[in-house]
Amino acid sequence: MTCLDLTALERSVAIKDQRLAVVELMEATLDRIEAVNGALNAIVSLRDRDDLMGEARAVQDAPRKGWLHGIPIAIKDLAHARGLPTSMGSPLFAGQVANYDEPMVARLRDAGAIVIGKTNVPEFGLGSHTFNPVHGTTVNPYDHGRTAGGSSGGAAVALATGMLSVADGSDMMGSLRNPAGWNNVYGLRPTWGTVPSDPVGDVFMHQLATLGPMARTPADLAALLDTMTGPLAGQPLSVAAEATLPMLSQPPGTLRIGWLGDWGGALPFEEGILPLSEAALRQIGGLGHQISDVAAPFDAARMWNSWTDLRSFSIASGLYPLFADAETRDRLKTSAQWEIARGMTLTGTELNTASLARSDWYHCCMDLFREIDVLVLPSAQCWPFEVGMEHVKEIAGVHMDTYHRWMQVVIPASLVGLPVVNIPIGFGDNGLPAGLQLIGPRGAEGRLLQLAQQWHDLTDWPNARRPVI
């Protein structure tokens, strides 16, 4: 066993007990990146090796700041990290270096993490396929001809291959869950407001996306979540949250788990995904939990219309200045142009209709959670697709009418800001990994992580089937 086989928490204890030197961990990390990243393209904007080794030596002799003391981490290339470029995958921002840390990044540094570079993303994080004209394409470590998912694709691949032990991600439409599922690792979309984002622009209206942690174990996931969380003065809708890591020492008790399946036939799935998901559910039931089928609780079309309107409005609000300038508009990817153009034409009445549908779905969820503790859906409706495809255009004979329709399975949680933990559930006959979404009511991160820990103790999929690198 090498230091790269240790979990993040194990590395933390080993460094604290002086059984592992920070410089040893940094050297091993950079060696692993050098060995495997060229074929995968997960980590971008990697800092100079000599500079990183110098920082590791300085941290080695410095007072311990927190549990991440001396642990290398790379930041998703949508977030600002002081001294590193924030390209967002767009040529419009390539080479622009951040002069400050976003709150989440500052919290990681305050806990002792050493930021070594960035992880790759789709342009502006749009689309669950990590490719862009600045850094290129990130490929799946289990099949280099397949996508890694996205938008946290670089982070997921770096975790799966041992280049990182923990990573940050963000999630609007499955951007933590989809790549975690497709790379055999864990990802957590927290309750909206638990992990505050950078308080720039509007801080009230656009409650769709959130930051969150990714890891190879639920315990590391909990530890990173606890580091990221906490109210932020500039974010009025940020909330306090109970620490989750201490909860993992206790089992969750018998949980009532509801399987939503294909949402009453509304969601098409590629062959093999539902059977694999149902097999995992039977294993979860074997842990002492009560599994039941849940009929489609809400009109799928109404939910989809609400989501696409609110999403387009949110994206347009952020990117419209680039769209309004004819010189920069043509340099935006097609999906970004489509979202902005659509969002700018929405009327107040249409937005109110979308918001009312969201409110009705939230009230429906509250009724569901009186009878069910955890709702379950697959993490994606298809297997990782070929890297040459921009997006999926058909699933099980059903035409996908937008660039993101194939990820409809993630919006029940996204639309109303519910917490979700992706757990890896094994592999299909095609050798590709898949995941399940464990969805709970607001503030249920601890319970979901307890269930994920039970599952991990039973299966440990990230170690049971590592990618061949």
**216 Cβ partners below 8 Å, 6+ apart?**
7, 159, 160, 165, 185, 186, 462, 463
pLDDT digits (tens, 9 = 90+) for 365-411: 999 999 999 999 999 999 999 999 999 999 999 999 999 999 999 99
pLDDT digits (tens, 9 = 90+) for 224-274: 999 999 999 999 999 999 999 999 999 999 999 999 999 999 999 999 999
pLDDT at 1: 82
Distance, CA of 225 to CA of 393 (rounded, Å) = 35
pTM: 0.98
3-class SS of residue 115: strand
Hey, CA dihedral for 378, 167, 428, 139, is it positive or negative?
A: positive
Domains and CATH numbers, the chain: 9-464 (3.90.1300.10)
pLDDT digits (tens, 9 = 90+) for 332-344: 999 999 999 999 9
**Contact assessment for residue 191 and residue 166, using Cβ atoms and an 8 Å cutoff:** no
pLDDT digits (tens, 9 = 90+) for 422-431: 999 999 999 9
String of DSSP letters for 354-405: HHHHHHHHHHHHHHHHHH-SEEEEES-SS---BTT-SS--EETTEE--STTG
pLDDT digits (tens, 9 = 90+) for 9-58: 999 999 999 999 999 999 999 999 999 999 999 999 999 999 999 999 99
3-class SS of residue 247: helix
Find, among 94, 87, 70, 52, the residue nearest to 12 by Cα. Answer: 70
Distance, CA of 121 to CA of 78 (rounded, Å) = 7
Find, among 335, 428, 417, 416, the residue nearest to 378 by Cα. Answer: 428
Distance, CA of 143 to CA of 34 (rounded, Å) = 19
Q: Which residues are catalytic?
A: 76, 151, 175
pLDDT at 266: 98
Q: Is pLDDT at 197 greater than 90 in this prediction?
A: yes
Mean pLDDT of 65-76: 98
pLDDT at 206: 87
- Other Cβ atoms closer than 10 A to 301: 9
pLDDT digits (tens, 9 = 90+) for 138-152: 999 999 999 999 999
Find, among 8, 156, 154, 143, the residue nearest to 469 by Cα. Answer: 143
pLDDT at 469: 80
Alpha-carbon Rg for the chain in angstroms: 21
> DSSP assignment, residue 91?
T
Distance, CA of 213 to CA of 223 (rounded, Å) = 9
pLDDT-derived band of residue 326, with 50, 70 and 90 as boundaries? Answer: confident
Mean pLDDT of 66-81: 98
**Mean pLDDT, the chain, integer:** 97
Distance, CA of 175 to CA of 402 (rounded, Å) = 17
**Contact assessment for residue 450 and residue 252, using Cβ atoms and an 8 Å cutoff:** yes
Q: Is pLDDT at 170 greater than 90 in this prediction?
A: yes
Mean pLDDT of 325-333: 91
Length of the chain (residues): 469
Query: What percent of the chain has pLDDT above 90?
Result: 97
String of DSSP letters for 119-184: E--SGGG-SSS-EETTTEE-EETTEEEEE--SSSHHHHHHHHTTS-SEEEEEESSSTTHHHHHHTT
pLDDT at 216: 98
Q: Is pLDDT at 455 greater than 90 in this prediction?
A: yes
Distance, CA of 276 to CA of 269 (rounded, Å) = 12
pLDDT at 301: 98
